[in-house]
Amino acid sequence: MQDFLHTTLSKNEILEMSSLGLAHVGDAVFELMVRANLSKSGVRKVKELHKNTVSSVSASAQEAAASKILPSLTEEEHDVFLRGRNAKVNTLPKHASPETYHTATAFEALFGYLYLLGRYERLNELFGMIIE
């Protein structure tokens, strides 16, 4: 049986993906990490968990998270981040400036890239920097 949860791809397969494809995966990875962290924090009300999750994964929150980890990125990670930031998006949300949205997309692309490479320890390391 194929393991869909821990799908890893070769670096070439990942580099062939669009930045927005990477961001699509990274958005889910980051949200799952946020949800797991909030759930273990002792918050019991679903409404409160949802509210905290939404605020933690918003474009502005992801922009703030990106600023915390940018100095610690490797050259390879920084290249992926820049590729994600330069992705052509067709629509921008009303609640985020273009700069904020592009930074959030870059952040998500990085998380998608690391996840698809199976670099879970690095994802945990970066997430730790964000939540401290």
Which pLDDT score, from 0 to 100, does residue 98 have? Answer: 86
At residue 94 the predicted structure's pLDDT band, cuts being 50, 70 and 90, is confident
At residue 92 the predicted structure's pLDDT band, cuts being 50, 70 and 90, is confident
| Mean pLDDT, residues 97-106 | 93
Q: In terms of pTM, does the model score above 0.85?
A: yes
Angle between the N-to-C axes of helices 19-40 and 120-131, in degrees from 0 to 180, rounded to the nearest 10 = 60
CA–CA separation, 75 and 80 (whole Å): 9
First CA to last CA distance, the chain: 38
Q: Is the pLDDT of residue 105 over 90?
A: yes
Instruction: Compute the mean pLDDT over every residue in the chain, rounded to the nearest whole number.
Output: 90
CA dihedral 6, 78, 57, 98 (to 10 degrees): -130
CATH code, 48: 1.10.1520.10
In a domain? residue 3: no
Domain that holds residue 127: 15-131
DSSP state, 5?
Answer: T
How many domains does the chain contain in total?
1
Which pLDDT score, from 0 to 100, does residue 1 have? Answer: 60
CA–CA separation, 35 and 13 (whole Å): 28
Detail the DSSP E strand segments found in the chain.
Answer: none
| pLDDT tens digits, 28-82 | 999 999 999 988 887 778 888 888 888 888 999 999 999 999 999 999 999 999 9
In a domain? residue 9: no
The percent of residues above 90 in pLDDT, for the chain, comes to 64
Q: What is the number of alpha carbons within 13 Å of residue 58 lying toward its C-beta?
A: 14
Residues labelled catalytic: 27
In a domain? residue 86: yes
In a domain? residue 10: no
| Mean pLDDT, residues 94-103 | 88
In a domain? residue 1: no
